[in-house]
Amino acid sequence: MTLTTLAVLVPLLPFLGAVAGLLLGRTAPGFVRPLAVLPTLLAFALAVTVAVRQGTGPATDAGTRLTPTGSVPVDLAVHLDGFSVLIAVLVTLVASCVQIYSTGYLRDDPRYSSYAALVSLFTAAMLLVVYSGDLMVLLVGWEVMGICSYFLVGHYWETPEARAASLKAFLVTKLGDVPFLIGIFALGADAGTFRINGVLTAAASGQLHHPTLIALLLLGGVAGKSAQFPLHTWLPDAMAGPTPVSALIHAATMVAAGIYFVARLLPVFELSSAALAVLAAMAAVTMIGSALSALAQDDIKRVLAYSTIGQLGYMAGALAVGNRSAAVFHLLTHGAFKALLFLAAGVVIHAAGTNSLATMSRMRDLRSRVPDAMWTMAVALAALAALPPFSGFFSKESVLRAAEYAAEGHQAHVPSAVGWTVLVAGLLTALLTAAYATRLFLLVFRGSGGEAPAAHRTPVVMNAVLWLLAIPALALGVTAGKLPQWFDGTSLAPTLATSVLGVGLALVGVLVTYAAWRHTETRANRVPIGAVVAPDSVEPAATEAAAIAAHPQVYGDIAGAPDPADPGRLLLGPLHRYAVHGFGLDVLYSKAFVRPVLAAAGLVRFLDREVVETYVRTAGGVPRLLGLLVRRAQTGNVQTYLSVLLGGSVVLAVLAVLVASGA
């Protein structure tokens, strides 16, 4: 079987699994789980085969004319190189783990069949993006992912949070997709083709006449899909969906698509220094702002969501300094440890019965209930904090190395100011990332209050998936010496300067956060607020919040504090109130866009009802009135007709007499 045929089968298998799952979900429920897991596992095996056969050789590009358009043709094309085949392995690995994990996590969910089918379709759409050699075909996968995310984020549609989150995710990403679509059309028109290799050839030969405009339009879609400032606000709210969906979106699909797209078309973006500067500024603001917000969140999944936004900022920063190898390397390692983080968080939520870090911090036995989740999450958090020898250290250092190289003016087409922007933001984010990663681990697994509520036993498949993902989260960084052969040949090994700075700042973040946690723990332990009931001297309360509100004299100066043992409050100080709400961007967007649109819709509704409908009603009322008069004249009664005829004759006779006498 040829290499291109194998590559076509990789997205086709989960697509067929999705179709079969939707058709047989109700009539043959026994086939739902095999149809969810087996096609994705087989796709993973084929993706590995494609990667091995493609290897480090020259790119494979094959296609056939899909349809004549009369201008720029559209081809059904496959493009295989080191970037695409490794990303496909990541996508299928994470998707397989998510499907296996979901058989335990959602085993009692009545809508599991549709959920599993949508996950398979989501996977197929991302694989289409990864392997596609034509921009229009890539756009199909890009948009299918958008609609899949709408349905999956809104899986628990009974809750208003899920409904609102799914709608927000769809609308915000579509807001970016509008300029993205225009940019693709403009790029195809300039290059004379939608084939990616043709576009890159046109970029290299200087045939693109509007590179800055095209690059900025494309960045709109990238900002929406990859949750970069200012279109990142949908991703934290998307945590209303099932936790395995969060793992899939954050680790291997959807948000990875934008970064991968820029990596594939980086030569186009390098034609415009302005576009690179915009990308660098977007990445810097995203990194720092999301890290501060992560340090303030109480929901464990929102912490991880803001973490994803920040790590995507690292990747965007690497692309801004012209190093797509570092960006894709970090995309690979991030996919492994972020999938592990979300799935481990799912086990913790399963045991604790809550997403709240404040509540978890008051459960002293949580670590003994979920030891597998604790140890694997520790591995993933260490990788997230970029501590050596975990995978995140090597990939993050490759980004900092690329930024340092550009800052020194050694990277062609990249202004040194862009390099300094990414380098400074990356180092500051390294400090903040270690801080919120440490805070999350301490609040979840170092609680000292009451016992966790009774929980069901964690299914074996869920723990097995955690240990499977812990392997790449721990060891994937050792491939840094081999990956340049698969990519552009650029070295990915860390340098001494950035390693010392990055690791030093990360250790400072860990130690300062631990000290703040010890301080807040000591303060919190001055009063017995660990359990969900008041002390013996007062009446029990239904919840801890109710106990504090009912008996403030018992809890003293801690009364009214939502979470007195949270080191994030101490570290952020007055900034906490802004960071916890994402620095008010949602409020700003609501005032600047949502309210004006609603007001305009209200005006249109008023005009439609009071003006247009009034006109229509009047236009219809006049003929109706005339018809009523005519209907009364046409009674069918002969006597009435004779009476009217006689009356009319008398009137005419009188008028004739009057006219004659006047004459």
C-alpha distances in angstroms, 93 versus 43, 164, 227, 571, 574? 9, 30, 23, 37, 42
Would you state the pLDDT for residue 451? 61
Measured at the CA of 416, the angle between CA 411 and CA 420, to 5 degrees, comes to: 115
Would you state the pLDDT for residue 363? 82
C-alpha distances in angstroms, 580 versus 150, 235, 357, 359? 25, 15, 13, 17
Half-sphere exposure at residue 306, Cβ-oriented, CA atoms within 13 angstroms: 27
Q: Is residue 372 within 8 Å of residue 347, measured between CB atoms?
A: yes
Would you state the pLDDT for residue 643? 82
With a CB cutoff of 8 Å and minimum separation 6, the contacts of 81 are 54, 59, 60
Using CA atoms, how far apart are residues 113 and 25, in angstroms rounded to an integer? Answer: 5
Would you state the pLDDT for residue 618? 82
Torsion from C-alpha of 243, 248, 250, 254, nearest 10 degrees: -130
Instruction: Give pTM, 2 decimals.
Output: 0.88
DSSP states along 616-654: HHHHHHHHHHHHHHHHHH----HHHHHHHHHHHHHHHHH
DSSP states along 331-363: HHHHHHHHHHHHHHHHHHHHHHS--BHHHHTTB
Using CA atoms, how far apart are residues 340 and 473, in angstroms rounded to an integer? Answer: 8
Would you state the pLDDT for residue 452? 57
Residues of the chain with pLDDT under 70: 449-456, 523-564, 632, 663
Write out the H or E segment, with its range, that includes residue 317: helix 300-320
Would you state the pLDDT for residue 453? 60
Bridge partner residues of 65 (DSSP): 75
Would you state the pLDDT for residue 543? 37
Would you state the pLDDT for residue 525? 62
Using CA atoms, how far apart are residues 444 and 72, in angstroms rounded to an integer? Answer: 55
Using CA atoms, how far apart are residues 220 and 491, in angstroms rounded to an integer? Answer: 30
**Both tokens assigned to 566:** 């949270």
Would you state the pLDDT for residue 449? 65
* φ, ψ dihedrals at 507, nearest 5°: -65, -35
Q: What is the pLDDT of residues 203-217, one digit of tens each?
A: 999 899 999 999 999
For the chain, the C-alpha Rg in angstroms (whole number) is 32
Would you state the pLDDT for residue 340? 97
Torsion from C-alpha of 566, 571, 572, 576, nearest 10 degrees: 10
